[in-house]
Amino acid sequence: MLSADGTKNISFQRPIANGDLIIVNERHDNMKAIKVCDGSELQNRFGVFKHFDWIGKPFESK
């Protein structure tokens, strides 16, 4: 998962922040690139996931 902003340090030690580009694995053969935006949500067959809930969590978390 890489930062969408080239001025930010790319480190997997920092938590997910607003504006980051992340990869969401929906299945083993289906991935989506998502830009984390506070107030947005991802809706798929597994439910609705608010981006706010991702902010502050470490990369590669479930």
57-62: Cβ within 8 A, 24+ apart: 57/15, 57/16, 58/12, 58/15, 58/16, 59/1, 59/12, 59/15, 59/16, 59/22, 60/1, 60/12
Residues 1-57: pLDDT tens digits? 555 666 666 656 889 999 999 999 888 899 999 999 999 999 998 999 999 999 999
Structure confidence at residue 27 (pLDDT): 85
- Give me the domains of the chain, ranges plus CATH numbers: 1-62 (3.10.330.20)
Structure confidence at residue 5 (pLDDT): 64
pTM (predicted TM-score): 0.70
Higher pLDDT, 21 or 62: 21
Structure confidence at residue 4 (pLDDT): 63
